[in-house]
Amino acid sequence: MADAPADIDGLTFELALSELERIVAQLESGQAPLDDSIRLYERGAALKAHCERRLEAARLRVEKIVVGANGPTAEPAEFN
């Protein structure tokens, strides 16, 4: 998938997730015209990818904390 638009790249995880939830609700309502639905779906896909990248970055940060200079202090965190 292509990089997310700049406005999405600047969103926090929470804001991106909130917008994604609104888009899902709009699409599930079936009220949007076809062209709008396609546009919403594309933005939702970009938001989903952004959220996944932010979660992966958070997982890696937690793993770095857990695996300190003296080796692993605990099992790496699982975010599945």
- Spell out the domain ranges in the chain: 6-72
Q: Residue 32 contacts by C-beta under 8 Å, 6 or more apart in sequence?
A: 26, 40
Written as one string, the DSSP assignment of 9-28 is HTS-HHHHHHHHHHHHHHHH
pTM of the model: 0.75
> Which has more pLDDT, 69 or 42?
42
Confidence bin at 1 (pLDDT 50/70/90) = very low
At the second CATH level, the architecture of 6-72 is Orthogonal Bundle (1.10)
